[in-house]
Chain A
């Protein structure tokens, strides 16, 4: 039997159905892999007891003939999802010792479908970052490295632990969250598939909030089919989240027909940004050619507000974050650093509990909402956000989906770009507009850079049309035949 950790989620599902192996064996294989790959620092909390307990229960259910869509499949959870009685950190010191008395809607759906929890994976603090460098729990190491070089690379962020765990075969799949690219960019950097669903497709209830109008949960997997399988389980209306859409969830796996004939694919002119490496441009062109060869029709489109997307995002997201993070005050949970007065306790707790990037964004957010600046920053950014969404609306009158690169570069080395937040923010130039418009986006591994690192292509779909987006991604995946993989875990010790 092939190594169990090498299976795709769909193949593992089929193997379990055929009783080729048990859920317990599958869980044990992954727990062993996790142990060997601790140097990647992908997990903040490993939950072997929970995993084995769930796997035993899953095997018992299957024996009773009662199996869910993800029955017995071990996955990793970004440590931004609240998990009942399991440490939930958001990658921050300020949530010290916080064990939620509730389970997030998305993780509850996964367990309900039979999935097995391997643990909580690392992330940028409060999901703020594109490198996983801002985690209080230390950086995650990308399982990929440049051939012949031992410099450690970042996995991207903020769902860096999720991406690294899936790429390094520590989990069959993981879930992440995406506020400005936090699923798609690390998926691109780690050579896996990452989906940011339409805003409102998955419930945000129980996810530690970063920027409420942008945050979405999504799957991170090694194939488009696996992503579709996960997404079908994660999606659905939740009365506990007023922004979740009361829409039926299609069978996304069934949407993967491989047939994109006649689909019109928008190629946004404005995404040819200055200084974009030629290899990214080349990859993009290759993607266009693949889709054309499969019978789709590339159409040049204009998303003229693109250049304002990053500045708009860096006003709206911090503004919302500044309010969302006000609850971390040392009063009710997490870290408390005592002070002589209430204000002093706040100051000491928040000074010690938050890292530099979080502080930067809370300050920016507070500033842009302040009296006298609100109109010039926050209100203007909201107006531009509307215009960005209108750009997409107009484009989608002419096309069925949009194809872009996922990020303007491959993974960079740990420590790089840390002194230049603006350069870091540029990582999200292709992903951020999608969040601002609330649209679904997927990153598919499409090739290797000259340095031998994975590069991703992004497909952007119409709102709530993840099915078409996944179908196109499936065709790209087949055409790209991306079989490269990082060196097996454990090699780095």
Chain B
């Protein structure tokens, strides 16, 4: 823990972090209307009169969104509240058509849960989830379309969001990053949110405070709408240092909302506590309390997919992978599935090395996701098989893999076409050794007089003579016998 403390002029400080994540629910329609919720449509093309706050329009809760929220709650090992209430959160803004946002204030659909962070050193840390509630998104104001007017796009208005609030359990930017990665991983496994921070389908507000180790919680500042994991970590670093510097100069922290300027890497005051809205929450009379049947929740629980933690434990137990490798492989469901397809019936550790090593390397270099991999799991498996049955050596396999990435051809075809099949014919290898030893009589004499190091030289010469195709094990054995005379 002590390495998480930050050093000030006057001593050590501890950072305390809590995150509020807005995760857009994967759903064809909006939370309270039938309008489409796709990303990237023409402005105001996906707006029903309900989303535009027209007179007399009423919200009707989308059942699918409720299922998604419950599934997410179950994935966060959280209490599901069988009775929850939708409230109106009142404020005026041009992109908030009703003049209120329908949210859940006093009685959210999901209560306390937890999430396990996978830290880079292979350790895990537990972070509490305070709650998850459903709410509708606002529209979007475009301020750069006209010199004096703002344009409003209501496509997003009414889209379902899950607000997921953590306990103030994190102590470093790294932990906050790990939290977001793990949360995103769980959401993607559940297919309840695509977790795409660039498109805004996952947005993060960070609550930051600092304190002396063991002291009471300090005053917190909320940094709004940070839109990448890297920016979250940067914002925390800046904000914590700002607070420490201020406190060490004898200042006090004002509770306020701040914005992160990603261009300059700083946070700036947005509004102080005094300027904060009075949202005048009250139960939305257009919606009855949401009452869930226990059977409904149980059916969703029964249908949950294997989640990252369970998969990781299984990979460690069944495939004997290290916690680190297992953590890397389960982070994305698609990667885990790819790995399992390669590992099935093969040496799992070996398969893991190929996936996390050469494959990830090739994908990163090309900026591709696993879905777009030029090498399929079946082909990578075939390559592993060629190594295992001594058709090719591990070294030749690297070349074959590079060729597979380039051409998309199968490893078998590449090996055949290029004549890369390993030489396992004892006679042929013996002949090559004999030729090398005959040509290097002097070196043979030196070796026999005790210069053992020359063994490698002979191996190299024989490999060269066989164009690298000699089976390395066979070659070693035969060479040793011949040199021994």
Interface residues of A (CB under 8 A from B): 81-82, 88, 90, 95, 98, 100-102, 104, 204-209, 211-213, 239-243, 319-320, 322-323, 325-327, 329, 331-333, 342-343, 346, 366, 369-371, 374, 378
Contact = CB atoms under 8 A, between A and B. Distances in A.
Nearest to B93: A342
Contacts of B90: 322-323, 326, 369
Interface string B49-93: 100111111111100000000000000000000000000101011
Contacts of A319: 282
B381 interface: no
A329 B92 contact: yes
B347 interface: no
A329 B99 contact: yes
Contact of A98 (B55, B60, B61, B100): B55
Contacts of A366: 280
Given A323-B88, A326-B92, A326-B100, A242 B60 contact: yes
Interface in B351-396: none
B97 interface: yes
A342 B151 CA distance: 12
Given A326-B98, A331-B97, A342-B150, A212 B280 contact: no
Contacts of A204: 56, 58
A242 B98 CA distance: 17
B60 A240 contact: yes
11 contacts: A102-B49, A208-B55, A243-B286, A319-B282, A322-B90, A326-B92, A327-B53, A327-B54, A331-B152, A343-B92, A370-B280
A374 B92 contact: no
A371 B281 CA distance: 9
B282 A378 contact: yes
A199 B99 CA distance: 25
B287 interface: yes
B285 A320 contact: yes
A242 B97 contact: no
Given A212-B286, A369-B90, A370-B278, 19 more contacts: A81-B56, A101-B54, A204-B56, A209-B56, A212-B284, A212-B285, A213-B285, A239-B60, A241-B58, A242-B60, A242-B286, A242-B288, A243-B286, A243-B288, A322-B280, A323-B88, A332-B53, A342-B94, A369-B282
Interface in B1-54: 49, 52-54
Given A101-B49, A212-B286, A332-B53, A327 B99 contact: yes
A323 to B, nearest CB: 5
Interface of A (DSSP majority class): loop
Contacts of A102: 49, 54, 56
A155 to B, nearest CB: 24
B282 A374 contact: yes
B280 to A, nearest CB: 4
A178 to B, nearest CB: 16
A370 B279 CA distance: 8
A188 B265 CA distance: 69
A366 B287 CA distance: 20
A95 B278 contact: no
A205 B278 CA distance: 29
A207 B282 CA distance: 21
Contacts of A240: 58, 60
A200 to B, nearest CB: 10
A205 B32 CA distance: 14
A323 B99 contact: yes
Nearest to A366: B280
Contacts of B59: 242
Contacts of A241: 58, 60
Nearest to A204: B58
Contacts of B99: 323, 325-327, 329
Given A243-B288, A369-B90, A332 B55 contact: no
A333 B281 CA distance: 26
Nearest to B280: A369
Contact of B56 (A82, A329, A332): A82
A211 B282 CA distance: 13
Contacts of B284: 212
Contacts of A213: 285
B97 A332 contact: yes
Nearest to B33: A240
A240 B48 CA distance: 13
Contacts of B49: 100-102
Contacts of B92: 326, 329, 343, 346
A88 B56 CA distance: 11
Contacts of B152: 331
Nearest to B99: A326
Contacts of A209: 55-56, 286
Contacts of B285: 211-213, 243, 320
A362 to B, nearest CB: 11
Nearest to B98: A327
A370 B281 CA distance: 9
Contacts of B53: 327, 332
Nearest to A95: B55
Nearest to B89: A323
Contacts of B97: 327, 331-332
Nearest to A333: B54
A243 B100 CA distance: 19
B12 to A, nearest CB: 38
A100 B55 contact: yes
A205 B57 CA distance: 6
Contacts of A378: 282
Contact of B61 (A242, A327, A332, A333): A242
B95 to A, nearest CB: 9
Contacts of B93: 342
Which of A322, A323, A371 has the most chain B CB within a 10 Å cutoff?
Answer: A323
Pairs A-B, 9 closest by C-beta atoms: A326-B99, A213-B285, A369-B280, A212-B285, A327-B53, A206-B56, A208-B55, A82-B56, A371-B278
Interface string B263-296: 0000000000000001011101111100000000
Given A243-B288, A326-B92, A370-B278, A208 B60 contact: no
A81 B278 CA distance: 32
Nearest to B53: A327
A305 to B, nearest CB: 20
Contacts of B282: 319, 323, 369, 374, 378
A100 B55 CA distance: 8
Contacts of A332: 52-54, 97
A100 B280 contact: no
A51 to B, nearest CB: 22
Nearest to B59: A242
Interface in B273-326: 278, 280-282, 284-288
A329 B53 CA distance: 11
